Amino acid sequence: MLFTLVISIAIATAPAKDSSIVQVRVTCKQVSSCEEAVQIWCNGYARADGDGDGIPCENVCSTVDQVNAIRAQQGC
C-alpha cells in the first residue's frame, strides 16, 4: 500500500504598517545619515545618544543644531 501524507501550512501575515515607522531595530553602526539616526532616536532607541549631549549617532551627526533641524523636519 502506498500512503500519501499531505501537510497544510497556514501562514499568517501581519497587516501592512506605516512605512515611516522604523520596524527593525537599527544601531548607530548601521545608519548612514543623520536623518536615519534622528529617526531611530525619536522612535525610542535611547542608546543613540549614549552621552546625553543631544546628538544621536555621532558617527553621522555633528551638531545639536543639525539634529534639531532634522527633528523639526521629521516632527520629532
Q: CB under 8 Å to 14, separation ≥6 — which residues? A: none
Amino acid occupying residue 31:
V
Task: Kindly state whether residue 16 falls inside one of the protein's structural domains.
Answer: no
**pLDDT at residue 26, rounded to an integer:** 85
Angle at CA of residue 40, ends 38 and 42, nearest 5°: 65
Q: Tell me whether residue 20 is in a domain.
A: no
Give the three-class secondary structure for 23.
Answer: coil
pLDDT in tens, 25-68: 789 999 999 999 999 999 999 999 999 999 999 999 999 999 99
Which pLDDT value is given to residue 71?
97
- State how many domains the chain has: 1
Q: 6 in a domain, yes or no?
A: no
Res 5 pLDDT > 90: no
Distance in angstroms (rounded) separating the CA atoms of residues 36 and 14: 24
**Does residue 15 lie in a domain region?**
no
